Chain A
């Protein structure tokens, strides 16, 4: 079995709102680059499947050459190789078409895992587009995966709980975060080994852009002014003040 995990390198998603700046409608280039948070859950899920079913695992990404260094972390977590399509489009159709190209080149892919949402554009749509382009079944927000004969048995998280689903054939699954797929930190040996693992860089194909115009990107103002309540000694007094303020404004 050959599993592909999609990983995207993004600008630091932990930058607080107050420090966030844009250049050319995108996060300022000065922010450090890091792996998407949900992508790490997807990689961990892929590694667990690899360990359980003795599969092979390839990390596939679309991004800039400079990202290779960060993507090696994904390889260190348990991938065998990295395939990077070099490009800098933000268009989800173009990204999906390029990921399809990279996956087609691998020829024998059975399962594609992706984080449920990237940590920059936050769209959560590229994996679903890719599935349709590949002709694979798409299931989003997957928390658990098992092989059941020639089928996949998955648990999908929903707004009210979860669904147990079964599908045959090839699939793209978007992975949500659960305690079971919180990434394990790779051991030093794996980090060194990852430096020697193969990296295929592919030139991007053109792809049809999604027909939509981005008009504007701006930073919304956060207008709350916090009133700090005393918290040094008399907590009973603090509790009373808080409750009376909330009541005054008919909030409770």
Chain B
């Protein structure tokens, strides 16, 4: 099936979509968004520097119709969510967002009800648009680079004034093998610093629940969960996090969850391998001391 990937030039995101594309075709085409070389080998590559979704929809729709693409793959991301739905109306095409599994015969799965249920859909009209949830498909190793031709933008609806990168100390959350996450139970922004101390000793990153982000104790870029980052670390420490299904949706692929919560009934213990029923303030400093002693 003629498959088109539309994605930022970012090797891991591209790699995951290439893996998905193999369910539909041997080699996909790509519209690479942003600047720089396009990593990997694509049958045909187009490049567009404009990274604002609203500006891309019209020209993408024309390209899809002209080239007869049948499957359009995007990452479930700010860019993907800005393109997928308007494109679906332009093309009268079905769209399935946050896909986590592809079965044979064009059946795709996505979670709903905060991950408490999973629905499968049969794609029976092409083109179909899929946004793929991060970390559910192993990123393909992208070899070499592909030359591209320019995809020109005819309708600039939105102007990008500035971009701000949220600086994170150490390893990015998405790549961390150890994540120390805090929730509303952490109590204050200052208290988040001991999570950073623990993360540093374990060569990890600090995450947060939506509760903690809403309180302003952590950055939105640190939010883990279905509307935050999807992560897949070896160890995920959940401190003062109740374990709402929408939070758990972000850690479904974590190998081991360590939950520390004052409430023995907290839902997080149902997802945890190891649980400690305690105030996090009692155990975290001791963990830090023990790690320091061992170093």
Report B284-295 CB contacts with A as 1/0, cut-off 8 Å. Answer: 001101110010
B78 close to A224 (CB less than 8 A): no
Q: A187: CB under 8 A from chain B?
A: no
A125 contacts which of B88, B114, B220 (Cβ < 8 Å)?
A: B88
A176 touching B227 in the complex, CB below 8 Å, given contacts A22-B117, A128-B81, A226-B273: yes
Instruction: Give A219 to B115 CA distance when docked, in angstroms.
Output: 9
- A169 to chain B: which residues have CB within 8 Å? 157
B114 close to A13 (CB less than 8 A): yes
A161 close to B165 (CB less than 8 A): yes
- B78 to chain A: which residues have CB within 8 Å? 140-141, 156-159
Closest to A118 in B: B112
B contact patch SS: mixed
B234 close to A252 (CB less than 8 A): yes
Instruction: Give A217 to B121 CA distance when docked, in angstroms.
Output: 9
Interface residues of B in 63-99 (CB under 8 A from A): 77-78, 81-82, 84-86, 88-90, 92, 94-98
Closest to B126 in A: A211
A20 contacts which of B116, B123, B246 (Cβ < 8 Å)?
A: B116
Interface residues of A in 95-133 (CB under 8 A from B): 96, 116-117, 119-129, 131-133
| Contacts between the two chains (Cβ within 8 Å), count | 271
Interface residues of B in 159-218 (CB under 8 A from A): 159-166, 178, 202, 210, 213-216
Closest to A229 in B: B276
A122 touching B275 in the complex, CB below 8 Å, given contacts A156-B78, A226-B270: no
Interface residues of A in 48-94 (CB under 8 A from B): 92-93
Kindly provide the distance from the CB of A174 to the nearest chain B CB, expressed in whole angstroms. Answer: 8
- B113 to chain A: which residues have CB within 8 Å? 11, 13, 20, 27, 120-122
A216 touching B246 in the complex, CB below 8 Å, given contacts A20-B113, A123-B97: no
A212 touching B161 in the complex, CB below 8 Å, given contacts A124-B81, A222-B270: no
Q: A149: CB under 8 A from chain B?
A: no
Q: B269: CB under 8 A from chain A?
A: yes
- B117 to chain A: which residues have CB within 8 Å? 20, 22, 27, 217-220
Q: B25: CB under 8 A from chain A?
A: no
Closest to B216 in A: A179
Q: A150: CB under 8 A from chain B?
A: no
- A157 to chain B: which residues have CB within 8 Å? 78, 220-221
Instruction: Give A210 to B94 CA distance when docked, in angstroms.
Output: 5
Instruction: Give A162 to B287 CA distance when docked, in angstroms.
Output: 34
A182 touching B214 in the complex, CB below 8 Å, given contacts A219-B117, A231-B283: yes
A139 touching B274 in the complex, CB below 8 Å, given contacts A167-B158, A215-B120: no
A226 touching B54 in the complex, CB below 8 Å, given contacts A159-B78, A163-B163, A217-B119: no
Kindly provide the distance from the CB of A246 to the nearest chain B CB, expressed in whole angstroms. Answer: 6
Which stretch, B27-35, B137-145, B252-260, touches the partner chain A? B252-260
Report B121-139 CB contacts with A as 1/0, cut-off 8 Å. Answer: 1111100100000000000
Instruction: Give A251 to B119 CA distance when docked, in angstroms.
Output: 32
A117 contacts which of B124, B227, B283 (Cβ < 8 Å)?
A: B227
- B243 to chain A: which residues have CB within 8 Å? 16
- Assuming A128-B85, A239-B286, what are 6 further A-B pairs, CB within 8 angstroms? A125-B97, A138-B54, A162-B164, A214-B119, A227-B275, A239-B290
A-B contact pairs, 14 of them (CB 8 A): A121-B112, A123-B97, A124-B85, A129-B85, A129-B88, A132-B57, A160-B166, A163-B160, A210-B95, A211-B125, A217-B112, A224-B270, A226-B274, A252-B178
